[in-house]
Structure 1
Amino acid sequence: MPTRILPAVGDVDAVRSITTLLHQLPDAEPVTPVVDSTQLVDTLARLAAESVDELPEVVVVHERIGPVPALELIREVALRFPAVGVILVSSDASPGLFSAAMDSGARGLVALPLSYEELASRVQAVAQWSVGVRRHLGHGADVLPGAGGRVVTVSGAKGGVGTTLTAVQLALAAQASGRAVALVDMDLQTGDIASFLDVQFRRSVVDLAGISDISPRVLADAVFRHDTGVALLLAPGEGERGEEVTDRAARQIVSALRSRYEVVVIDCGAQLGGPGAAAVEMADTALLVTTPDVIAVRGAKRTVRMWDRLQIRKAEETTVVVNRHTRGTEIQPPLIQRITGTAIAATAIPANFKELQTAVDAGRVHTLDNRGTVKQALWTLAAELGLVEAPEGTRRGGRSRGGERGAVSLRRRRGGGG
């Protein structure tokens, strides 16, 4: 049986030399190279969605792949596609890099310039390992096969537009439909999910920030299981501790959650930081909540443009949700769509705070009356997004990309120092 090998190489000259050598290996079947981290993860996700058997046995990652650094990319592939063996190709063959590569999930390190014998030996060993893993894949508890769960981020055009309520109700709707759901508070300084659901907690997202390998047991210890069945990963009680969560840590946390839950809903708040940017960039669907007033719509437009400038997400890959909508307001969803250049959710959330006030004040938004217009609209939005079974004819918002673009820290995006 031939060994399928997928090269991930950004450098044109390196692509040529690596693919030439791979074609010379016995029983090797190199596939079309990918040129960056985004294309690699998207390609693997697409293949995994068809079948684990469609995945290549071996992925060869060049040290200069981007925009995500090679070791972080390897960790992502190892977490999401455990049946794929990854080989790092690097000019640095030091014991330190070898150890770091193994810690990230690589199955081997081959030094540059490439040696036929070394590459052949390593590819053969990794391919055998991959075949063995596939024989037993699916027997591990609580790990989703293939591309993993669906990640939906909910961000606000500004504070107070209803971001947290939207995130909570989307998670509750998905949970009620029988799916395994995690709700994450990535609004690290001012997150209110715990208050909205009236929970007391000891652990938070910060407890996972310093862990390089988030095992299922470690993740289970960090989440809070709510009475509704939703798994909560909450913002820290001390807002200043949010600085401990880096964009890299956020990426690892989201990947770990994606591998264990069918739906992951992330409240990113209204302030953009590295962790929130990483989450938005990785999301299958990114929602931006606004209200139909001039200040909020301007904020939505500003956010969309900033995401585009920082290469976090393109406008057409973002879905705006209009909250507190009334038919009489001058600013209607089609106008907001033209102003922001985004997709617009077909479901607008009506303005009716009176039906929410008691539940919000009591911290029990999970007990909203099923007959309430706001809850009905939010659960209809969940169906539109594909988080629950959608009625026939309902279009889906957002863009399910099957993989993430790979976040880069805001500082690197702006060209600053590390």
Structure 2
Amino acid sequence: MSRILLLGGDGGLEYRLGQFPGNLLVPIAASVVERPEFDLRSLMVEDHLPDIVVFGPQVTRHTAMSLASLLDAMHPQITVVLVADPTTDVMLEAMRSGIRDVLSPEASDEEYRIMLLKAHDHSSRRDLRRRSTDTEVERVVESRVVVVASPKGGVGKSTIAVNLAVGLARQAPMDVVLVDLDLQFGDIATHLDLKPAHSLADVFASQGGVDTLLLKTFLTAHPANFYALCGSESPAAADKVGPKQVRALLSSLAAQFRYVIVDTGAGLDEPTLAALEEANDAVFVSSMDVASVRNVRKEIEVLATLSILPGARHLVLNFADRDSGLTVRDVEAVVGLPVNVVVPRAVEVSLSSNRGVPVLMAKKGGPAAKAMNNVVKRLESDGESAKPAFAHKGVALT
């Protein structure tokens, strides 16, 4: 349960925040908050400090920012949220004042629900860090950057990335962000049936760069409880993005989210190499054909030569079927890595992509969904080995 203190909210905002079960909401009128003698020591909910403080639209901007700065200094474990029009000026001032999130008064109920989930989770994590310096606790809340890569297009890389985001969001709701780093032909928005108001190109074009709160305004929330940073519709946007910008973006996201999933373009362009430099995990995706398997081996060799091969590697064999003429053992012999997960060729995958509904969101998942869950489990268990679903008989790769 979250203890929420609403300062200067109108009746509509109080109703909207109060309709979500499992929270204790205490409102304080703006007339009280604006008094010169208003004391932060009165910000208690049933003799406890609140988990979340929401500044409503009836509190002046000056008062909200001043109190937020004091709260951030005195009680950094409290998550502070501002309800206001998220203009650039407001976002910058909020960021400097320690405000965690800015939400428009016209935001939907779903956006308010997501805000509360995210605020509660963030508050819990900060409190956990504050109360314990145990190494194991820090390991549990550590952020991880997971790069999904392949030297060849058409192997289902984006499908794997999308389902990773869905699966990991079940464990860490609203603490997962999916980044479409296929700068020329990224199609994450299509896979998720999203119509984003902003894209990756907007992030890099922003004068505010990739700073915290400003960055969040470019993210699109997905119903499966994660965020997506979708690619630009114009392939020309890739010309303006350099490795330094990619590294700054992923570093900023890793400071805010537990899992940062990066879907890259085919091959090893500069943005992909920059992403791999920031990665904790690399998920290599190959289809079950000779050219794809050999290219994966070459890609891994190049990354090893450049000393940017992430410590945790996961090899996913996609579109596997018994008619390919290859076996899992053949693939392992060529690539030099064990095949961790085998995703069989299945109609459910094609249907999910066309409908914009990931297979892990289906009520009844088939064999492909089961295999993709195994990819998720590997990330959840810090890369513990997963047994391939099945092997194939066929000729050796030479």
Unaligned 5+ runs, structure 2: 1-71, 80-99, 101-121, 130-137, 388-398
Instruction: Quote how far apart the aligned CAs of 1:327 are.
Output: 4.7
- Work out whether 1:284 is the aligned partner of 2:277: no
Whether 2:230 is the aligned partner of 1:240: answer: no
1:331 and 2:326 correspond = yes
Distance 2:364 2:177 in 1: 22
SS in 2 for 1:270: coil
The aligned runs of 1:216-295 (5 Å cut-off) are 216-295=212-291
Per-residue CA deviation, residues 67-120 of structure 1 (Å, 9 max, x unaligned), is: xxxxxxxxxxxxxxxxxxxxxxxxxxxxxxxxxxxxxxxxxxxxxxxxxxxxxx
User: Of the two structures, which has the highest relative contact order with CA contacts closer than 8 Å and spacing of 6 or more?
Assistant: 1
Distance in 1, Cα, partners of 2:351 & 2:318: 19
Aligned partner of 2:303 in structure 1 is 307
Rounded Cα–Cα distance in structure 2 between residues aligned with 1:252 and 1:171: 21
**Residue identity opposite 2:385 in structure 1:** R
User: Are residues 387 and 209 of structure 1, via their aligned partners in 2, closer, same or farther at CA, if it must alter by over 3 Å?
Assistant: farther
Q: Distance in 2 between matches of 1:336 and 1:134?
A: 55
Inter-partner Cα distance in structure 2 for 1:136 and 1:247? 37
* Superposed CA offset, 1:198-257 (max 9, x none): 111231122222556533211110101112221000111111112222111111110111
| Residue number in structure 2 paired with 1:185 | 180
Aligned to 1:106: none
- Give me the whole-angstrom Cα distance separating, in 2, the residues matched to 1:329 and 1:362: 27
Q: Name the structure 1 match of 2:169.
A: 175
Deviation at 1:313, TM superposition (A): 1.5
* TM-score normalised to structure 2 length: 0.59
Cα–Cα, structure 1 residues 332 and 157, in superposed 2: closer, same or farther, change >3 Å?
A: farther
Q: CA deviation at 1:266?
A: 0.6
Cα offsets for 1:322-366 (capped at 9, x unmatched): 112235644223332221223431x211111x2223322222236
User: Which amino acid counterpart does residue 362 of structure 1 have in structure 2?
Assistant: R
Q: Does the 8 Å contact 2:150/2:285 carry over to 1?
A: yes
2:10 alignment counterpart: none
Partner of 1:372: 366
1:203 aligns with 2:198: yes
Q: Which residue of 2 aligns with 1:350?
A: 344
TM-aligned CA deviation for residue 307 of structure 1:
1.8
Report the TM-score when normalising by structure 1: 0.56
Q: Distance in 2 between matches of 1:250 and 1:224?
A: 19
In the alignment, is the contact (CA less than 8 A) between 2:143 and 2:257 conserved in 1?
A: yes
RMSD: 2.8
Distance in 2 (alpha carbons) for counterparts of 1:378 and 1:278: 26
Q: Secondary structure at the match of 1:207?
A: helix
CA gap of 1:151–1:307, structure 2 versus 1, over 3 A, is same
- The range that moved more, 230-239 or 171-180, is 171-180
CA drift at 1:172: 0.2
Flag the 1:344–1:385 CA change in 2: closer, same or farther, 3 A.
Answer: farther
What is the match of residue 319 of structure 1? Answer: 314
**Alpha-carbon distance in 2 for matches of 1:300, 1:369:** 33
How far did residue 186 of structure 1 move?
0.5
